[in-house]
Structure 1
Amino acid sequence: MNLSRTGYWGLLTASAALATFTIAYAQQSPAPPSTAPAPRGASSYAPVDIKEPFATTLARMKAAQPEIQKRQADLLAERYDLANRPATGVTMSRGKAVQEGARAKLAAGVTWDQLAGMTPTEIRDRNLFPKGFYPLPHPNHAEGGMVFPKFEIEEIKKQEARDLTRFDLEFDLPDQFLPEFPPPIYLTTRPDLGDVSQGKLLTIDNYYELFNGILNPKQIEGLRLLLTPFPQQQFNQTEDRRSEKASRGVACFDCHANGHTNGATHLVGDIRPQEFRHRIDTPPLRGVNIQRLFGSQRALKTVEDFTEFEQRAAYFDGDPVIATKKGVNVLARGSQVHFMGEFQALLDFPPAPKLNVLGKLDPAKASAAELRGQDIFFGKGQCGTCHVAPFYTDNLMHNLQAERFYKPVMINGRYASADGPIKTFPLRGIKESPPYLHDGRLLTLEDTVEFFNLVLGTKLTAQEKQDLVLFLRTL
């Protein structure tokens, strides 16, 4: 693949340097000075005046696709145990099995307990930080852009005859590590109705029949807009799109399926150059009404800010110049943005029957192990320091400084160094929205417990970790 023609933001490395990066990652050693990414990109802007004919781009990128996908598949296999191994008797709201067990692979001869007993410096110097805990690159980091799971693509094509397939790559994580599809919809205004989705994926074709008589007219209009496709960086009518046919675009709920998430991925739009951009795991919109920060690292202050920002900037990788070319959807702040925000604020967390009104376990309903897990959560595990009941967020940003544990390294075009501050996501309904952390690098709740046990230095025992996972499943 000719990255200088297809990668946005003027990637500075030539093919020889990329080969060196791949070797550097395989050895998990810091990239040598000659291949370290430049601190400044050649340009902050995407190329606008494309000289290569679309047919040539299409043929070239289709030919490169198998090798790009193999590279990402090899990375995932090296990092994780990807087996379909569901937990006994644990499902999401509509019955999809929850995967169990820590899936990040350890270095040969090292146990989780041994690792937790080491200092960050020792782990870094001995190169023992689990590869599954490093930042996760995009399926093709040099190219970036929205990538959708196959089940979402097929359902949208069936209902709307709109194709979200990219000709240059496919989604990378196996379906068993993604949320159930389609997810249920719970409303803060009508908890008596339970799941109002009727088992359907909400689209422009069915939203009116599902919600007429339940929502007010503003909310119905907001929902219509959230389901309406608008041009996006990879899905539009221009010659630098990544859909084979000219596309009507992408809708907000193409990623936030039924106001939740389907695990679709993207890259943040607010970092340059390309190799420093972070992968995004689409977060749920459930519980928007209790949140005060939006965007995993952008710290936008209202859901209206987030809604407007997404379509004017994030849809186009943070580049308003290319947005103008491709057809930016400029929403009216006083009406459309407000209507969309009002609907999003109705999306509720799934029921948690074992919790009381303060968000803690009811001793009459919880098991002894779950109660022990709650004690660990608010005590030794330090989880409750940031994830405060009843919704299990403090609405703040925190810097975990995971870079203490590893040396900077290039991983499939992603320069793994510091993540910076990350929003405290609510943990209500957490078992329904794998994978975890802002970039989806943690595949299971067990991985998440091991990650924070290491990063926070809490030194939990095996039993304490197990109890903590059981508690998290009740939220």
Structure 2
Amino acid sequence: MAHLPKTFLAATGLLVVTCTLAALSDPLPPDASYRPLPALPFSAVKTADEAQKPQVTQRQSDLLNERYDLSDRPVPGMMMSGGRKPVQGSVRVKLPAGVTWDSLAGMAPDQIRQRGLLPAGFMPLPHVKQPTGGQVFPQAQIDEIGRQEGRNLRRFDVDFDLPDRFTPEFPPPIFLTTHPELGDVSRGQLLTIRNYYELMVGVLTPVQIEGLRLLLTPFPQEEFNQTEDRKVAEQSLGVTCLDCHSNFHTNAAFHQTPDVRPQAARFRLDTVSLRGVFNQQIHGSKRSLRSIEDFTQFEQRTAYFNGDHVSAQRKGINRPDRVDQVPMMAQMQNIIDFPPAPKLDPFGRLDPAKATEQELAGEQVFFGKGRCAECHVAQTSFMDNNMHDLKLERFYQIGQTVNGLVMLPDGPIKTMTLRGIKDSPPYLHDGRLPTLADTVEFFNLVLGVKLSQAEKDNLVAYLMTL
């Protein structure tokens, strides 16, 4: 997959660099809307993919190391909500030579764009194999599903690319709005079809248990199914909703947006948490689906099959019944709560008797100079249920290609909740920001608020309390 179609280039005026990675195993025309059947037998595709894998892996590793400091530097004493994994700290995005964060923040967007000074880590993050795309799971999820169910989520063509330290703790705790007194109801286990009933009987209603069963039932997916263009060695039953949303949170599994073509323009999507979904009125980074029922039903054609209903028909799409099954799935999702935030009062503000001076100072930045609260509204779970376009393309030249992904404008993206945010690395819709410190630097530049280093540090400390 080397070029964008001529019509696309003519419309945008983009010049695209040829992708040099061999594409024998993925014969997808660059201007395709529909994914064609493989031109080669499965055995040949698998052999070619496995031969390419070291090159694919090395190219993505090189990109990540060029963009980020991926060393292990946790925040002292700061753990995720389950208490099993430290939160990584410090700014990890690397600056261009001769530039400081303060000097960069003092430049106009045009100046940064013309001089090519936007840190590469602030740019869209490509899929590990952009021409092929598809769902990619972290090793912990692969191992645990293999152990419990004997189901294989390991692809033969790609591996998960981010170091484990920059992903959520696994398995994450589960908190219920219906039983806040119980704390983590997962008992430290990953919910699967093998253990859900034993863990949840007597805690959930019959309707919720049935919804949970459906969310844990594997169904065919683009890369995990029985057809000859799958990306797993053996025929597969498929994947479940909670393979990505582990314990209703996230394991940082990633995919590509299903609602953009051509393939080179499809941006990476990091799996979002389902915690607090009861307060969300729009779903999907771009699609603005208006209910969790819509999202649950629509995902069977989008996330599962890249938005390609033709491929879905051939591989065995599951259509959950809108009257019976979808409401049960939604009822289960709608009782998933955020982790406790003991320093917050009922209005989402810090209790001065519980917070540190630094955290209180960070709250002032959040609601004041930092302008964070204009979108992340405290009374609505630190989000505003709106879409916003940050217009990041002000800072870089669109049209350049990085590992097969054409750098285009992000466009409007929904506001993500900040409740429990320390549990949800990496950050932004495509996971391009490894830490909260990176996220603060990103928005300091993009919003032009010119925070001092002390204000940035205070803001990060405050975000850890949410």
Bin of the TM-score, shorter chain as denominator length: over 0.9
CA distance in 2, matches of 1:45, 1:235: 18
Q: After superposition, what is the alpha-carbon deviation per residue over 1:273-309, rounded to whole angstroms, capped at 9, x for unaligned? A: 0011110010000000000010111111000110001
SS at match of 1:87: strand
Normalised TM-score (structure 1): 0.92
Q: Is residue 163 from structure 1 mapped to residue 152 from structure 2 by the alignment?
A: yes
State the Cα RMSD in Å.
Answer: 1.5
In 2 relative to 1, CA 442–367 (structure 1 residues): closer, same or farther, beyond 3 Å?
A: same
CA distance in 1, matches of 2:170, 2:284: 23
Pairwise CA distance, 1:93: 1.3
Q: Is residue 298 from structure 1 mapped to residue 287 from structure 2 by the alignment?
A: yes
SS at match of 2:304: helix
Q: Is the 8 A contact 1:152 1:262 kept in 2?
A: yes
Q: Is residue 466 from structure 1 mapped to residue 465 from structure 2 by the alignment?
A: no
**Residue identity in the other structure for 1:418:** P
Q: After superposition, what is the alpha-carbon deviation per residue over 1:413-456, rounded to whole angstroms, capped at 9, x for unaligned? A: 11112000000011000000000000000000000000000000
Q: After superposition, what is the alpha-carbon deviation per residue over 1:155-180, rounded to whole angstroms, capped at 9, x for unaligned? A: 00000000000000100000000000
Out of 386, 390, 393, the residue aligned to residue 396 of structure 1 is 386
CA distance in 2, matches of 1:266, 1:236: 16
Show the counterpart of 2:421.
Answer: 430
SS at match of 2:76: strand
Show the counterpart of 1:446.
Answer: 437
SS at match of 1:314: coil
Q: Percent identity?
A: 58
Pairwise CA distance, 1:32: 4.2
**Residue identity in the other structure for 1:417:** L
SS at match of 2:87: strand
SS at match of 1:373: helix
Show the counterpart of 1:173.
Answer: 162
**Residue identity in the other structure for 1:78:** E
SS at match of 1:316: coil
SS at match of 2:66: helix
Give the alignment of 1:39-438 within 5 angstroms.
42-48=31-37, 50-95=38-83, 96-390=85-379, 391-408=381-398, 409-438=400-429
CA distance in 1, matches of 2:250, 2:160: 14
Structure 1 runs (4+) greater than 2 angstroms displaced: 11-14, 30-36, 40-43
Show the counterpart of 1:26.
Answer: none
CA distance in 2, matches of 1:443, 1:33: 28
Q: Is the 8 A contact 1:313 1:323 kept in 2?
A: no
Pairwise CA distance, 1:467: 0.2
Q: After superposition, what is the alpha-carbon deviation per residue over 1:192-234, rounded to whole angstroms, capped at 9, x for unaligned? A: 1000000000000000011111111111000001001000000
Q: Is the 8 A contact 1:41 1:272 kept in 2?
A: no
Unaligned runs of 5+ in 1: 4-10, 15-29
CA distance in 2, matches of 1:306, 1:141: 25
SS at match of 1:88: strand
CA distance in 2, matches of 1:51, 1:286: 42
Pairwise CA distance, 1:43: 2.5
**Residue identity in the other structure for 2:413:** I
Show the counterpart of 1:19.
Answer: none
Give the total of aligned pairs: 447
CA distance in 2, matches of 1:195, 1:151: 20
SS at match of 2:35: coil
CA distance in 1, matches of 2:39, 2:57: 26
CA distance in 1, matches of 2:79, 2:161: 23
Pairwise CA distance, 1:34: 7.1
Give the alignment of 1:2-17 within 5 angstroms.
3=1, 12=3
Pairwise CA distance, 1:12: 3.8
Unaligned runs of 5+ in 2: 6-12, 20-28
CA distance in 1, matches of 2:170, 2:285: 23
Q: After superposition, what is the alpha-carbon deviation per residue over 1:60-109, rounded to whole angstroms, capped at 9, x for unaligned? A: 11000000010000000000000011010101012210000010000111
Normalised TM-score (structure 2): 0.94
Q: Is the 8 A contact 2:80 2:87 kept in 1?
A: yes
Q: Is the 8 A contact 1:31 1:410 kept in 2?
A: no
